[in-house]
Structure 1
Amino acid sequence: MNDEKFIHETSNGNEFTHESMINFGAFHATNENYKRMKTTIYSILILITALLFHSCEKDLMDEVNEGNWNNERNILGINLNKQIGEAVIKRTADEATINITVNAVDLDLSAIAITDLTLSYDATANTSVGEKLDFDNPENKASITVTSKKGETLIWDVFIEPFVNELEGSWSISSFYFMWDDGFGWGNAGEDEVAALLPASASGLDDVITFGEVKGADSDGRVFGDYERTTGDDGAVASFVYESTGVDWSSLFGQLPVGTGQWVLNKDNSITITVDDKSYTTSIFQKEDESTLKIPLNTGAQELDKINWDNYYGDHSNKFIAGTALYYTLMRL
């Protein structure tokens, strides 16, 4: 059969010669090769992308593991022996300071131990917990050098403020004194020992009052410690009942009560004492010398409308309601 003469008629009437069929086969083969090539190119691109991603991921993890990103060199927390309250930590760029108040009673400023030290992640310091810092200099200053994982350093200046608790210790009662003046100018004014006005209170004069060492500071920065008042050898508790009237004046004279509790030193140097959930706040205490304290108590508002005019000079109640000063003088044991 002659190729040029061969004609194939399709069902729709189109005609294909042998030559056109050969051309179609060639086209079909070329198209299949193109598809295979395209698939191969896609596979290569996917493989290259995966390799690049793996390479980037590996490099990133290497950088994380090596710590080259970490330049943190902060002190996040610190505690020293006999520290009062929290350390004040400040950093501005490369200026870093820490201020700490410490109880300086029986404390060697040249060797104050670090009891806690918290640093930034993976940072190191030139000192550690248990080691001691020397603050025995005019600035009361020591330094800590912190090094980041990346190797950069920052010097932290640590300053202490020594606090000497003038209250701390056990004290005997030297005197308990009261002053009064109703302001009328008719003679209801004077001063005397409380025991001279209330004889039953004399049993409390051999008591011992103890202000324990500083245990910490509250959120307002007020230091506090344990309080205790114990009876003397007679074991008797002072009574503040005025026998002539039967009225108990403990609310005035019993402001340093027998028992155990807590003392708080307020910012104005007054003292708040709490025993059995009852609190009493003194006026500003005064240090007379190294062994003597004067602790003024609150006399409250004068209630002159309660004066007993029928026994103006003989009724001590007229003195108690016109109080102007009330204080203990304590001697260090």
Structure 2
Amino acid sequence: MKTKIFKSVVVLTMILFAFSCENDAMDGLVREDRQIVSFKLNGQVGPAIITPIGDDEGVVDIFAVMAGIDLNAVLPLVEISEKATISPNPNESANFNTNGGSFVYTITSESGKTRKWKVNLKPFVSEIDGDWGVTSFKFDWFIGKGESWGWGENNADLTAALSDAGLEKDNTLELVTTLVNESGNPEGTFDFGSGADMEFARFIVNPDHAGQVKDYSSRFRKMPIGKGVFEYNVAGKVLTLWRGNKSGISIEGKVTKSDTGTISIAFDNWVNEFTWDHWGAESQIQNSYTIYYNFVSL
């Protein structure tokens, strides 16, 4: 037993010694890395696109909301390779107006090799910004949702189940990005208007299966009426809306943009409230789990 323990200690000592020697060898190397690792500035949307070119050049593309950025005096936050240096000093303002929205930094490695990085500052154009008109208002429903049985329909016309939902079809939505937050997500304002008929959809069944008036607005009034603010998660394609300002209740919608430029915003509206004492349209309404606003650019 003592012999086995002794052998184990010897092996471990040899491994540690070899590892130590390897580290010492690495410490003696002169680094040639001369990369821009990250590049950030106020108003930037998403991470910088960093592309080395050959052995001594590179390009950094930055997309940003240009409002509020003084191109004559840009102060970025730049991270570069370890033990490398950068010129000009990024702590001093750079004039991006001198070369059509571009500026060149030179990174010099520890070994003295250089790479010139051309940083291009480009206007961010949001895929959701603009004036939009509702073309259709649809929903998904499924009887037996979460079960191994059932039936339903995807993208059914909501007006077939709730006729006054059709009042939403001429509504308009204006989205304007005004800034980019610390998470890199665009924020801005929205205005959901009533359109030519000056009315918004009503989600009322009169009468319902019991002969009463049943208001389903809490299920289907997901798009806030009037003016408010939004945040758009570009990576996840999630649009968060607040009526008025961010102190109120928020609602999240999933954005899909087609190749033809139309957009769709889908809201989750599932509530498990189905009963078996009625059929037809009201059953579909009670078993709706997603509603869709489909928009075209105006």
Q: Residues 188 and 145 of structure 1: is their aligned pair in 2 closer, same or farther, counting only changes over 3 Å?
A: closer
Task: Looking at secondary structure, tell me which structure has more helix per residue.
Answer: 1
Identical positions, percent:
22
| Structure 2 unmatched runs, 5+ | 1-38, 49-58, 77-88, 108-114
Give the Cα–Cα distance (whole angstroms) in 2 for the partners of residues 288 and 98 of structure 1: 29
Distance 2:252 2:40 in 1: 33
TM-score, structure 2 length as denominator?
0.60
Q: Please give the per-residue CA displacement for 1:111-150, whole angstroms capped at 9, x wherever unaligned.
A: x97153359xxx8999965834346xxxxx631579xxxx
Could you tell me which amino acid in structure 1 is paired with residue 125 of structure 2?
A: V
Of 308, 313, 317, the match for 2:275: 308
Cα distance, 1:253 vs structure 2: 1.8
Quote the residue 2:11 is aligned against. none
Equivalent position of 2:207 in the other structure? 244
Return the index of the structure with the highest Cα Rg.
1
Q: Relative contact order (alpha carbons < 8 A, sep ≥ 6): 1 or 2 greater? A: 2
**Aligned pairs, how many?**
224
- Residue 278 (structure 1) aligned with residue 242 (structure 2): no
Pairing 1:164-243 to 2, within 5 Å after superposition: 164-183=125-144, 189-191=152-154, 192-212=156-176, 214-243=177-206
Alpha-carbon distance change, 144 to 114 in structure 1, aligned in 2, over 3 angstroms: farther
- Quick one: structure 1 residues 314 and 173, their matched pair in 2 at CA, closer, same or farther if it must change by over 3 Å? same
- Aligned mates of 1:159, 1:130 — CA distance in 2: 8
CA distance in 2 between partners of 1:216 and 1:144 (Å)? 26
Report the TM-score, using the length of structure 1 for normalisation.
Answer: 0.55
| Unaligned segments of structure 1, at least 5 residues | 1-76, 89-96, 105-111, 136-140, 147-153
How many Å separate the matches in 2 of 1:127 and 1:166?
Answer: 31
For residue 320 of structure 1, report the CA deviation from its aligned partner: 2.6
> For residue 265 of structure 2, what is the aligned residue in structure 1?
295
2:63 is the counterpart of 1:101:
yes
- Does residue 142 in structure 1 map to residue 100 in structure 2? no
From 54, 71, 81, give the equivalent of 1:114.
Answer: 71
Between the aligned partners of 2:292 and 2:90, the Cα distance in structure 1 is: 54
Question: In 2, Cα distance between the equivalents of 1:103 and 1:221?
Answer: 11
1:126–1:143 distance in 2 versus 1, CA, 3 Å: farther
Distance in 1 of aligned mates of 2:226 and 2:291: 21
